[in-house]
Structure 1
Amino acid sequence: MRNREFWQLVDEVFGERYGRTLAADQVLGELGDRTAWQALEDGVEPRTVWHVLCDAMDVPEQQRWGTDHRRPAPPRR
């Protein structure tokens, strides 16, 4: 997953306004008490950040991949 794909999914799954705010404000313990935005800036893989964010927000697996149901889900590492 690339940063571009991460942000596309943030917009699709959480909504453009709420998702960007969530990524900037929600501190995630699994990311070392950083926000998703900070973790990405610090070089954490977008795939990892995405799974942590979705886990924290209780997003079901089947809803994590946005509107394109043919999009392959990035595996967890």
Structure 2
Amino acid sequence: MRLTEFWNRMNRHFGETYAESWARDYVIAGLGGRTVIQALAEGESAKDVWRAVCQVTDVDSRLR
């Protein structure tokens, strides 16, 4: 998954205003106690990060 697709899904799920804030502030245990922003910056694949987001939020099945 490309980063553009990742952010498209984040924006569709959380809304454009909240997606970035959530990604910056919410710590996910499945990402080693990192936020989405931290995990991506440290080289975690967008696909793996998206899977972690899906595990902790109620993402619509069409976005999974």
In the alignment of these two chains, the number of paired residues is 64
Q: Which amino acid aligns with 1:12?
A: R
1:1-77 correspondence to structure 2 within 5 Å: 1-60=1-60, 62-63=61-62, 65=63
What TM-score, normalized by structure 1, do the two folds share?
A: 0.75
User: Whole-Å Cα distance in 2 between the matches of residues 20 and 55 of structure 1?
Assistant: 18
Quote how far apart the aligned CAs of 1:58 are.
2.6
* Higher helix proportion: 2
Instruction: Spell out structure 1 runs of 4+ moving beyond 2 A.
Output: none
Q: Considering only aligned residues, what root-mean-square deviation do their CA atoms show, in Å?
A: 1.3
Post-superposition Cα deviations, 1:7-56, rounded to whole Å, max 9, x if no partner, equal: 11111111011111111100001101000111000000101100101211
What TM-score, normalized by structure 2, do the two folds share?
A: 0.89
Q: Percent identity?
A: 39
Gapped runs of 5+ residues in structure 1? 66-72
